[in-house]
Structure 1
Amino acid sequence: MLKKLITAVLLLTAAVVLFVNCAPQFGGKATGISLDKMKNSRNYKDGKFVNLVETSMDMGVGSMLETMKEYFQKVNGTPSQPLPVKFGEGDQSAVDSLTYLTWFGHSAFLLEMEGQRILLDPMLGKAASPVPFMINRFPYEEKIDIDAIEDIDAVIISHDHYDHLDHSSIVKLDKVVNHFYVPLGVGAHLQRWGVKADKITELDWWQDTTLEHIKLVCTPSRHFSGRGLTDRNATLWSSWVIQGSHTNLYFSGDSGYAGHFKQIGEKFGPFDFTLMECGQYNEKWAQIHMMPEETLQAHLDVKGKKMMPIHWGAFELAMHTWTDPVERLLTAADKHNVEVVSPFIGERFSLNGMEPQERWWKHVLNRQVASK
């Protein structure tokens, strides 16, 4: 029996290693010029990228067991009713002096700015994991039609985690995308998935480039990266500043709270609009994901005007209820007189004229109660 058990464990281990090394969704490893750029980065030490401040992500066995227990005991972690969406609705005009956003849930957006169509972290697939049966997207009343997305001038990626960089989405979008802008090292994933090297620009923190008349700046965040078993922090993670002639926008990516927000605000603020991470948090990993109250403070630090909470409304990645992020953020915003935008998923809206909306998630909760 012992021999059979050892053999089974060895076979399982070999299968996992083979799967991780061969399955394309795990991405690629940087080589050549890309690897040289990484090694020359001041943020790259001993073969890994590091945060600007000391950041711990390790939990002991006891903490991990406690977390697993909390995860299975939680309630209302996911909506029991399909979420309402408004794909194809909202303001459908097109004025170059106006900026438009369409939210796909979580941190995925279509940004239309000064004649450019830009996708931010376009995770449009079903599962935020390397396998299709784990971490599935919340049910929507209407599925995201990725085939309807056309004429994309640029894709901006914040980091390589599965809920932000999706293999299936990139493969489908590549034929309609002109260029990809990513943090250092992330280009290797795209190239393994068929994206040509000359369509990829990799940037380090504080480096910038231009897309027509729009300035793109890769700015710091406090997080980590990795898609496999042995590539923790092998690629860089970031936030992004997107500056046009009429609109200055900040996209936080994923981040714990730290002093980089004030630095960004001092260098590039004030911002007309901020897309700020707000969701999938827990005290155990507070250094890499913000609590909603910290999200509000980060918005103030970067000198934002209007803001929108993101990183919620699609996947269950923490122990809080699915509506807790936006509710806590709105409570904090009321105390500071900060205007928060909360559109429906799929609703196209103008940043210049969007007013505070109804709390659409309340309707889902009410239907949930009525169905019991």
Structure 2
Amino acid sequence: MYILFSLLGLLAVGGILFISFAPQFGAAAQGQSLERLQKSPQYRDGKFHNTSPTPMMDESPLLDKVKIFAKFLGGVEGSSPTDPLPMATLTKEDFLSDTSTTPKITWFGHSAVLLELDGKRIFADPMLGQRASPVSFIGSKRFSDQLPIKIEDLPPLDVVLLSHDHYDHLDHGTIKKLKEKTKHFFVPLGVAAHLVKWGVAPEKITELDWWETASYEGIFLAAAPARHFSGRSLTDRDRTLWCSWVLKGAQHSIYFGGDSGYDTHFKQIGEKYGPFDLTLLECGQYNEAWKYIHMMPEQTAQAFLDLKGKVLMPTHWGAFSLALHHWKEPIERLTKAAARQNIPVATPIIGQRWQVGRELPARPWWQPLN
């Protein structure tokens, strides 16, 4: 018994030390950044809050949590594809040789999207790692072993845009490889501390609260509300802010939703900044147990209408299994809901670079796959 308790104690101490010192967990805000976030209308009692009450799964009855955990352990049939997903390959020259200013979009799976607006390259939530996890051997593995282009081969980036600090949106390894080829980072309050710890120069980072705005070489940016949460360890829940983003160029506007449960903020954003030529909204990794922080696909369609969108491109699917549904279920439910309301939906394959305002990439490429 003494040996058992000693081993458990050593494991506990080792875990605490690992979380405290491993760089992938990031860092807590300090100095002026901490003072600024503490003045945010969203911040009270030591953490950020959503506008509407947002119950979390860990507040559910114990039996419900046990059932969900058991389902995760048992797995869900079809949660990951057995067939390889179609993918377009890219080279750096594909981007550098194109001098047109027509907005273009390239999806890297999940929520990682490379936007080209008025000649600027903006990478939103560039999670390009193989696992949505702080370690390489635990957590959901990316459906595809390869990316459309190696991180090292990406062209220079003007902006990296982050919606929040969860592992499926903010990846330590990816940022380490992008920091030298990225001119500026725009992030919600508190997230800068992670980037600084990973070697990003503080002067290259701008932190924004909800409804605050900035500009970058002619591009207008606004951090807008979302209904979600944050955290990278067991002790930092909601210590950083989460947000969505509004981007406006000379003639086109784009909305990037990040992660969010459905709420009234979509209508508020649509009234203030809509209409949007392209609306990027999550449609996957949902469950009734966490319905307040992730939308059901039918709610995604309604959020698009609230935002006054012109074209909907679904994200947060096609790369990782982070919920208890079939991997194709999100896009199937969304496309059906969109069809009922005559919503134009763009469904490019991973790596497909397409132009906003041209013919939509709308082939149901997922249908024949298992």
Q: Give the TM-score normalised by structure 1.
A: 0.95
- 1:364 CA displacement: 2.2
How many angstroms apart in 2 are the aligned matches of 1:274 and 1:332?
16
Residue identity opposite 1:226 in structure 2: G
Q: Kindly tell me: are residues 5 and 91 of structure 1, through their superposed partners in 2, closer, same or farther at Cα, counting changes over 3 Å? A: closer
Is the counterpart of residue 75 in structure 1 residue 77 in structure 2? Answer: yes
Q: Kindly tell me: are residues 47 and 41 of structure 1, through their superposed partners in 2, closer, same or farther at Cα, counting changes over 3 Å? A: same
Task: Tell me which residue corresponds to 1:47.
Answer: 46
Gaps of 5+ in 2: none
State how 1:84-95 maps to structure 2 within 5 Å: 84-88=86-90, 94=98
Question: Contact 1:108–1:164 (CA<8 Å) still a contact in 2?
Answer: yes
Task: Tell me which residue corresponds to 2:26.
Answer: 27
Task: Tell me which residue corresponds to 2:334.
Answer: 329
- 1:212 CA displacement: 1.1
In the alignment, which of 253, 263, 285 is matched to residue 258 of structure 1?
Answer: 263
Task: Tell me which residue corresponds to 2:287.
Answer: 282
Residue identity opposite 2:6 in structure 1: T
Matched position secondary structure for 1:362:
coil
Residue identity opposite 1:34 in structure 2: S
How many angstroms apart in 2 are the aligned matches of 1:146 and 1:205?
30
Q: Kindly tell me: are residues 223 and 300 of structure 1, through their superposed partners in 2, closer, same or farther at Cα, counting changes over 3 Å? A: same
- 1:156 CA displacement: 0.3
Task: Tell me which residue corresponds to 1:207.
Answer: 212
Question: Contact 2:160–2:186 (CA<8 Å) still a contact in 1?
Answer: yes
Residue identity opposite 1:45 in structure 2: R
Question: Contact 2:285–2:325 (CA<8 Å) still a contact in 1?
Answer: yes
How many angstroms apart in 2 are the aligned matches of 1:7 and 1:231?
27
Per-residue deviation, residues 300-334 of structure 1 (Å, max 9, x unmatched): 00110100110001111000011111100000000
Residue identity opposite 1:342 in structure 2: T
- 1:94 CA displacement: 3.3
- 1:142 CA displacement: 5.5
Residue identity opposite 1:173 in structure 2: L
In the alignment, which of 104, 107, 126 is matched to residue 103 of structure 1?
Answer: 107
Matched position secondary structure for 2:27:
coil
- 1:121 CA displacement: 0.2
How many angstroms apart in 1 are the aligned matches of 2:147 and 2:240?
34
- 1:197 CA displacement: 0.4
Task: Tell me which residue corresponds to 2:61.
Answer: 60
- 1:68 CA displacement: 2.1
Q: Kindly tell me: are residues 278 and 92 of structure 1, through their superposed partners in 2, closer, same or farther at Cα, counting changes over 3 Å? A: farther
How many angstroms apart in 2 are the aligned matches of 1:257 and 1:93?
40
Residue identity opposite 1:65 in structure 2: V
How many angstroms apart in 2 are the aligned matches of 1:115 and 1:143?
21
Q: Kindly tell me: are residues 243 and 18 of structure 1, through their superposed partners in 2, closer, same or farther at Cα, counting changes over 3 Å? A: same
Q: Percent identity?
A: 50
Task: Tell me which residue corresponds to 1:118.
Answer: 122
Residue identity opposite 1:75 in structure 2: E
Is the counterpart of residue 151 in structure 1 residue 156 in structure 2? Answer: yes
Is the counterpart of residue 351 in structure 1 residue 350 in structure 2? Answer: no
- 1:73 CA displacement: 4.4
How many angstroms apart in 2 are the aligned matches of 1:248 and 1:95?
19
How many angstroms apart in 2 are the aligned matches of 1:111 and 1:315?
21
Per-residue deviation, residues 199-231 of structure 1 (Å, max 9, x unmatched): 000000000000111100000000000001100
- 1:82 CA displacement: 1.7
Per-residue deviation, residues 119-152 of structure 1 (Å, max 9, x unmatched): 0000011111001112111125656411111210
Is the counterpart of residue 223 in structure 1 residue 225 in structure 2? Answer: no
Q: Give the TM-score normalised by structure 2.
A: 0.95
How many angstroms apart in 1 are the aligned matches of 2:96 and 2:88?
12
Question: Contact 2:28–2:190 (CA<8 Å) still a contact in 1?
Answer: yes
How many angstroms apart in 2 are the aligned matches of 1:26 and 1:323?
31
Per-residue deviation, residues 78-124 of structure 1 (Å, max 9, x unmatched): 01122110022999973544100110000001111101011000001
How many angstroms apart in 2 are the aligned matches of 1:182 and 1:172?
18
Aligned residues: 364
How many angstroms apart in 1 are the aligned matches of 2:284 and 2:350?
16
- 1:17 CA displacement: 0.3
